[in-house]
Structure 1
Amino acid sequence: MAPLFRSDGQARLLAELFLSGADELNLNELAQRAGLAYGTVHREVRRLLDAGLLNERRVGQARLVRPNPGSPLTQPVRDLLLVSAGPVPLLAAELRDIAGVEAAFLYGSFAARMRGEPGNAPNDIDVMVVGTPDPMAVYDACQRIGDQVGREINPTIMTPEEIGERSGFLAQVRDSPTVGVVGDLPWR
């Protein structure tokens, strides 16, 4: 993630709020989507509410939050998230809707930077799609998201049988950092 956010968890939470396309999220759902503990989400949401970046609505015991469209920070935060954390929630939203996609994950330098490995800023994003989707649907989705985040997205499509085979390429992917997008990693 870009070093502009206090933590990777905060960036994931913001990405879910600002980029996922959900109108509102309750705190439990937000914790699940961002992969964070409920207490962490509760503290982060309080900070964001205090800063005016979020609006809150209560329905019974549930707290529903969403970006504050009236905050002058909302669009700049969204723009920063698009280029730093945006590929994951945007790709997830697109790839979930494509028939035949069983799993998808990022690998390569972008995934390594997201996992905290040092190195140069990546120029592109590598995504592995597992299943039997229409390749053109996957390529078109990656093109749309790439245009939004300002980086080329390079999809590799493999069937579940192919992903289980032994090859130098797959060994390198398995041994490198990955970031889940849809479903579970096929070898874990």
Structure 2
Amino acid sequence: MRGRLASLLLEKSYRAGEVTLTSGRKSDYYFDCKQTALYPEGAWLIGNLLFDLLPADIVGVGGMTLGADPLVTAVSIASYLRNRPMPAFIVRKAAKGHGTNQFLEGLSNFQPGDRVALLEDVVTTGGTLLTVIDRVEAAGLVVGAVVTVLDRKEGGAERLAERGFPLLSVFTRDALLAAANPQPAS
């Protein structure tokens, strides 16, 4: 499954060439995981591989809209199919301006103190995840894991670790390239 996901990610989500990232940093590649996560096989693979990384005490998954939306849905469905159902939640970029005026959607499926995992498509500096952690904790949930499809290895894991949140990842850039292009055994 990991090798197949790597191939799909390289085909649909990975683009070589100079780009400016959300963080303002320059990079020699762009990774748009949504292209793979919104493809049926890609969603199935991502859902299962992220689910496999979750600690046993996690009861639900969530993340910042828009990047995490297909991820949390895929993991929630995979969890149900694997007899460990986990509800999902989405964290808004801005509080809802009416009704309950909340940041989290899907919160009614959780109890205060529930341990949840935060999902992210790609981690560069970790800034988005630190914002999400604050909002999730303010809503009464406990962040028990932070999981990403791709860790760019550009400081995000270290920033999260400083706050006590080790980053779990399906791939780093080097691991993604290696998994998609395995070397024949000699």
Which has the greater radius of gyration? 1
Structure richer in helix, relative to its length: 1
Instruction: Provide TM-score, normalisation by structure 1.
Output: 0.28
Q: TM-score, normalised by structure 2?
A: 0.28
